[in-house]
Amino acid sequence: MIGSIWAQAHRRAIGAGGALPWRVPEDMALFRRMTRGCPVVMGRKTWESLSPKYRPLPGRANIVVTRNPDYEAPGAALAASWAQARMLAERGDDAGTPKTRASAAAPGPATHEAHAPARRSRAQDAPLAWCIGGAQLYAQAIADADLLCVTDLDIEVPQADAFAPEIPDCFEIAAALPGRGWLASASQAPAGSAASGGEAGPVAYRFTLYARPEALESPALARLAQLLDSRGQAAATS
């Protein structure tokens, strides 16, 4: 089964100038908890945005999507399309092998209506793989995603140039932290961004897990909902 995980500011902003416009440790901790042990698929630009110190992301099979067959991503597998990456990630065998390229015919994009039965059976037993960005990959993965893990940040990023997709209406909120209102991050609103109300201060954030109806009863979702609540040092503001 497929999940997409991202953090977004106002206007669904996720990036600026090829980088994350903020540093919110609670979000990074959630990302690690949620993706640990699972294959992660990312676009070539997101791979390049990771510090060489932290790539490949440890404890996870890394799959990088690029149209460049000669691209070098040491420690990661390569895929020529989102569909091929998904196949590699769900199969789980080749993922993580450096310079591996998927060669078998890849399945086409799924639509909700046509693939509900397949989604339902996948949701019961298939291992979870994550799309971890960026904007181009999220846009392609959303049609196949069973689950979404979204961190909302209550900041405006005027210089944003990468955006998350709109969440389709068929997704339901499966879990949220906090249930209402926001948590206060240990980090301050980054330079050039404005916290809600224009005031400087800690970044306010909240986590939401969304699922398609077919995935609402899945064991993977139940496990993720538990992980969502292991929030470390976060403090509720309302």
Ligand X SMILES: NC(=O)c1ccc[n+]([C@@H]2O[C@H](COP(=O)([O-])OP(=O)(O)OC[C@H]3O[C@@H](n4cnc5c(N)ncnc54)[C@H](OP(=O)(O)O)[C@@H]3O)[C@@H](O)[C@H]2O)c1
* Given 1, 6, 144, 209, the residue binding ligand X (CB under 6 A): 6
Give 143: exposed, middle or buried? Use CB within 10 Å, 0-12, 13-18, 19+: middle
**E-only strand ranges, 38-117:** 40-43, 62-65, 77-79
Q: Is 82 in the site for ligand X (CB under 6 A)?
A: yes
Q: Is 20 in the site for ligand X (CB under 6 A)?
A: yes
Least Cβ distance, residue 7 to ligand X (angstroms): 4
Alpha-carbon torsion 60, 65, 70, 72, what sign? Answer: negative
User: Among residue numbers 142 through 171, which ones bind ligand X (CB under 6 A)?
Assistant: 162
Mask: binding to ligand X, 32-61, rule CB under 6 A, as x and -? Answer: ----------xxxxx--x------------
Task: Provide the greatest CA pair distance for the chain.
Answer: 53
Contact 78, 101 (CB under 8 A): yes
Distance CA 129, CA 41 (A): 8
For residue 15, state whether it binds ligand X (rule: CB under 6 A).
Answer: yes
Phi-psi group of 156: left, alpha or beta (phi > 0 → left; psi -120 to 50 → alpha; rest → beta): beta
Pick the stretch among 65-73, 103-111, 182-190, 227-235 that binds ligand X (CB under 6 A): 65-73
142: which 2 tokens? Answer: 């959303």
For ligand X, the binding residues in 184-223 under the rule CB under 6 A are: none
Q: How many residues bind ligand X (CB under 6 A)?
A: 29
Choice between 83 and 128, CB closer to ligand X? 83
7: contact with ligand X by CB under 6 A: yes
For binding to ligand X (CB under 6 A), which residues are involved? 6-7, 14-15, 18-20, 42-46, 49, 65-68, 71, 80-82, 132-137, 140, 162
